[in-house]
Amino acid sequence: MSLSQQIAQFIASGIINGTIYALLGLGLVAIHSVTRVVNVAQGEFAAFGALLAVSLMAAGLPLPVSLVAAVAAAALLGGGIHRAAIRPVRNATPLVLLIITIAVHLALKGVLLLLWGTDPYTLRPFTVGPPIRILSAVLTRQSLWVISVTAVALIVLYLFFTKTIRGKSLRACAVNPTAARLVGIRVEWMGTLAWTIAGGLGGLAGVLITPLTLATYDMGLILGLKGFVGAVVVGMASYPWTVVACILFGIVESLGTGLISSNYRDAIAFGALIVVLLWRAIATLRVGWIVSEEVAQE
């Protein structure tokens, strides 16, 4: 393979990975914007969805049913965590909420370990067939599934946020919870809804990626963190830009890994995270001390 072919291949696989990160990043943005929580347990939704889909398939359910059920279960898990662990202490400081999501991350990882053990699992690709050549990159059919399913999910999400009253309420809560409460929006339910959406998106990421890699009980943290990189580049605020940032991050990671060394894959990814945080910080300094308008609204 020539270098240009290699690079095309790296970029292609970077886009696929980036798409997965985007699903996780969107969930993080949804949770952060509505409940102001940085959810360390975001990746566990992916691990849970993936492992559940594998088990449902093994139990004899057809693939589409398994996938849908796994994603739905992950969504319920997300909403359930909000009701069980976040809502009861919603007046706690951000520090306590953060520690709770770390605890949730550990507990979920532990439960996954108890249920599925340390073995890696795989899921068969959604459709069989030879890989497809696009330009000089070779893509598996599953890769195309990843991209197209994500695209559909994004369109649904866009329509939800712009066309439905629920979606608009959710955005209202993100902008100003107090004002949202005053116009009769049940902010706490919106929090549960945001966590449910985040759970579903995480589960979707899990079932989409499993045929390409493998599903293990501890796959979540790294995936979730990579979604976080993309989300924080754009300030944990914008859904569409989170997607763009995650895909770009996927490409950078893939090129870095391919051209330097695969041993350094996570070091490159999280080195990028630190660089991004520093870059955001410097940008913040330029714009002003307080980016949000919390004080202006007092």
Partner 1 sequence: MTQRLWLLGFIVVLIITPALVTGRVSLSIFIFVGLFSLIVIGLTLLAGHAGQVSLGQAAFYGIGAYISAITTLRLGLPPVLGVMLAVTGAAFIAYLIGAPIFFLRGHFLVLGTLGLNIVVDVVIRNVQGLTGGPTGLTGIPPLSVGRTIIAGDRAYYYLIWTLVLVALWLGRNLIHSRIGRALAAIRASEVAAATLGINPAFYKARMLALSAAFAGLAGALYVHYLGFVSPSPFAFNFSIDLLVMSVLGGIAYLPGAVLGTAVLTVLREVLRTIMPRLLGTGASAEYEIVVFGLLLALVVVLAPGGIWHWLAAVLRLDAGESLSAVSPLPPPGRRVGESGATLLRVEKLQKRFGGILAVRGLSFEVKQGEIYAIIGPNGAGKTTAFNLISGVLRPTSGEIVLRDRIITHLHPYDIAGLGVARTFQTPQVFSDFTVLNNVMMGLHRSLRTGFLGAMFGLGRREDARAASEAAGYLERVGMLDRAMDRAGALPFGAQRLLELSRALATQPALLLLDEPASGLSTTERRELVHLIRQIRESGVTVLLVEHDVSLVMGLADRVLVLNYGEQIAEGTPALVRADPRVIGAYLGDDEVAS
- Which residues make up the interface to partner 1 (CB under 8 A)? 38, 40, 85, 88-89, 92-96, 98-100, 102-111, 113-114, 117-118, 222, 225, 228, 232, 261, 263-264, 266-267, 270-271, 273-274, 277-278, 280-282, 284-285, 287-291, 293, 295-296, 298
Which residue, 34 or 38, is less far from partner 1 as judged by CB? 38
AA letter at 115: L
Contact indicator for 63, 124 with CB cutoff of 8 Å: yes
Closest to 46 measured CA to CA, from 187, 201, 195: 201
Residue partners of 123: CB distance under 8 A and separation at least 6: 50, 53, 54, 57, 207, 210, 211, 215
Judged by CB, which is closer to partner 1: 61, or 107?
107
In the complex with partner 1, which residue's Cβ is closer, 161 or 270?
270
**What tokens appear for 93 in the block?**
């400081």
Instruction: Compute CA 292 distance to the chain's CA centroid, rounded to the nearest angstrom.
Output: 24
In the complex with partner 1, the residue whose CB is nearer, 70 or 232, is 232
Taking the CA atoms of 278, 250, 82 and 213 in sequence, report the sign of the dihedral they define.
Answer: negative
Give the HSE-up count for residue 9: Cα atoms under 13 Å, Cβ half-sphere.
13
DSSP 3-state of 131? coil
Q: Least CB distance from residue 206 to partner 1, whole Å?
A: 20
- With respect to partner 1, which residue has the nearer C-beta, 149 or 231? 231
Min CB(281)–partner 1 separation in Å = 4
Q: Could you tell me the smallest distance in angstroms from the CB atom of residue 68 to partner 1?
A: 29
Give the residue with the Cβ less far from partner 1, 116 or 239.
116
* Among 124, 81, 140, 94, CA closest to 210: 124
**What span, in angstroms and rounded, lies between the C-alpha atoms of 162 and 165?**
8
How far apart are CB 84 and partner 1 at their closest, in Å?
10
Q: How far is the CB of 266 from partner 1 (least distance, A)?
A: 5
The nearest distance, CB 222 to partner 1, in angstroms, is: 8
CB of 274 to partner 1, least distance (A): 5
User: Of the two residues 12 and 219, which places its CB atom closer to partner 1 in the complex?
Assistant: 219
Alpha-helical (H) ranges within the chain are 3-35, 42-58, 63-81, 94-116, 141-163, 165-175, 177-182, 187-209, 220-233, 239-259, 265-287
